[in-house]
Amino acid sequence: MSKIVRMCINCRKRFFQKDLLRLQCKEKKIIKYSGIGRSFYICKDCLKDEKLVKNLVKICKVDRESAFNMLKEIIDNG
């Protein structure tokens, strides 16, 4: 049985799916994947990268401060 491989949206490196954080944009908010709709993956190394916030602003069409705060809340809550 093969393991599922996905790509981090920030660094574009490939990882096993279980090693990535799966998020989605819903109603101009960044949330953990709810099981419905499109999603994206972020590796643990990129969670500390400042470039990530810039990429999330483009992807989710939110302002920089909101993206930073939503990402910080997701990281802090697990």
Domain limits at 10? 5-76
Q: Name the pLDDT band for 14 (thresholds 50, 70, 90).
A: very high
The C-alpha atoms of residue 29 and residue 60 are separated, in whole angstroms, by 7
Closest CA to 21 of 3, 2, 36, 39: 39
Give CA torsion, residues 32, 36, 37, 38, to 10 deg.
Answer: 50
What strand order describes the sheet that includes 40-43?
29-32, 20-26, 40-43
Q: How many domains does the chain have?
A: 1
Tens digit of each residue's pLDDT (9 = 90 or more) over 24-65 = 999 989 999 999 999 999 999 998 888 999 999 998 999 999
**1: pLDDT strictly greater than 70:** no
